[in-house]
Amino acid sequence: MKNSNPLVSIIIPNYNGKIHLEECLNSLQRIESDDYEIVFVDNASEDGSVEFVKDNFPGIKILQLEKNYGFAEGCNLGVEKAQGDYIVFLNNDTKVDAHWLKELLVAKETYGENHIYSSKVLFYDEPGTLNTIGGVITPMGSGLDMNFGKEDIAEYNNVRFVGSPSGCSMLLKKSLFLEMGGFDNDYFAYLEDVDFGWRCWLRGHKTYYIPESIVYHKYGSTGGKIDTPFRVFNVQKNRLFNIIKNFSLANMIKGFIISIIFDLVRIFQFLIHGEFSLINAILRGDYAFIKGIPKTLAKRKYIQDNRKISDGEMQKMDLIASLDWCIKEFRRLQDLK
């Protein structure tokens, strides 16, 4: 890359992720691009992460936070420290391909600077298998990783639109991120990328999947297994926020009806297996959502007043999935376990 290219700030949020940092940061030293800085955002880790970076990677900017702000607000604080015209969010438990950043910048030049660009994410331990090519929005406000667990074949080497970028690796203009209000600080963790990509689509900013930009992800190493009280609580709260903020009125009502049925099924399943902490997590998520309704309605008004694309158009573009497709996909994912 020539020095005339804009500076890119690579923002890496971290919480007790020292075990992953050497490989992640070493891989960044081998990328083809020169015009970048790394902003390491540490959410009050207790495992020596900050000391490790200071000792071994002295050129990296470190934002050492006094408490754990979570992924969403932590990234927002990292953007405030970033000097680049463009920003990339990158998970700490990743290894990037040498062409990773270059291909995102080429895509930006090809398709325009006022959009989002999301990488191909492969499993670290199974580099021939897809973790995600981006997200598709579900009728109940959550997101599903597209083609999760499928073989990385030629079919997935084409640029396409996706409903939301992968928070694991995404590039966009810093000014666009700020214009959109950044990630929603009320989300803490999970689905903040779905919400952000969704809001961008509603304002006329697209998300492109760029297959030449490749990241290898140690899936689950940071957040752990899928069904934990922490994850269930945050996903429950945040997907309900998504429904009320981003859907049109008819789909908002439909989303809540589907959610009630979905939750009753999950509670029954957790009850059978004696997983009472997960039932409690769902109910706590509901309570946190209810408490946040007045604030969320104000967000909804702004989003809906400024939307430029309808839910129907997003559904035709396969950015919002049908309920039938989601049921089939849930069954497929169950078979992968």
**Token pair recorded at residue 79:** 């953007």
Residue 3 has pLDDT above 50, yes or no: no
Unique residue bearing structure tokens 């790394």: 38
Q: Let me know if residue 248 belongs to a domain.
A: yes
12: three-class secondary structure by DSSP:
strand
What is the rounded CA–CA span in Å between residue 334 and residue 134? 20
Grade residue 101 by pLDDT with cuts at 50, 70 and 90: very high
Q: Using alpha carbons, list the distances in angstroms from residue 178 to 8, 107, 164.
A: 15, 21, 17
Together in a domain, 210 and 272? no
Grade residue 313 by pLDDT with cuts at 50, 70 and 90: very high
- For β-strands 94-96 and 160-161, DSSP reports them as unpaired
How open is the CA angle 265-139-329, to the nearest 5 degrees?
Answer: 65
* Owning domain of residue 244: 229-306
Together in a domain, 103 and 236? no
Of residues 336 and 234, more confidently modeled: 234
164-204 per-position pLDDT tens digit: 999 999 999 999 999 999 999 999 999 999 999 999 999 99
Identify the pLDDT of residue 336: 86
Beta strands in 43-162 (DSSP E): 61-64, 86-90, 94-96, 116-123, 130-132, 135-137, 143-145, 160-161
Q: Let me know if residue 58 belongs to a domain.
A: yes
Identify the pLDDT of residue 9: 98
Q: Let me know if residue 117 belongs to a domain.
A: yes
Together in a domain, 55 and 174? yes
Together in a domain, 235 and 269? yes
Residue 324 has pLDDT above 50, yes or no: yes
Together in a domain, 154 and 257? no
Unique residue bearing structure tokens 């640029």: 159
Identify the pLDDT of residue 335: 87
What is the rounded CA–CA span in Å between residue 183 and residue 46? 25
Contact 102, 1 (CB under 8 A): yes
233-274 per-position pLDDT tens digit: 999 999 999 999 999 999 999 999 999 999 999 999 999 999
Residue 220 has pLDDT above 80, yes or no: no
Q: Let me know if residue 222 belongs to a domain.
A: no
Q: Let me know if residue 334 belongs to a domain.
A: no
For residue 186, what is the DSSP state? G
Give the residue from 193, 217, 241 where a domain finishes.
Answer: 217
Identify the pLDDT of residue 221: 58
Unique residue bearing structure tokens 């930009």: 213
Grade residue 222 by pLDDT with cuts at 50, 70 and 90: low
Identify the pLDDT of residue 2: 39
Together in a domain, 13 and 91? yes
- Predicted TM-score (pTM) of the model is 0.95
Grade residue 1 by pLDDT with cuts at 50, 70 and 90: very low
Together in a domain, 48 and 21? yes
66-86 per-position pLDDT tens digit: 999 999 999 999 999 999 999
Sorted by sequence, the CB contacts under 8 Å of residue 178 that are 6+ apart come out as: 79
Over its C-alpha atoms, the chain yields an Rg (Å, rounded) of: 19
135-165 per-position pLDDT tens digit: 999 999 999 999 999 999 999 999 999 999 9
266-296 per-position pLDDT tens digit: 999 999 999 999 999 999 999 999 999 999 9
Identify the pLDDT of residue 224: 46
Together in a domain, 262 and 202? no
Together in a domain, 152 and 259? no
Residue 117 has pLDDT above 80, yes or no: yes
Q: What percent of the chain has pLDDT over 90?
A: 93
Contact 151, 97 (CB under 8 A): no
Q: In 3D, which of 120, 321, 113, 318 has the Cα closest to residue 215?
A: 120
**Token pair recorded at residue 253:** 């009502």
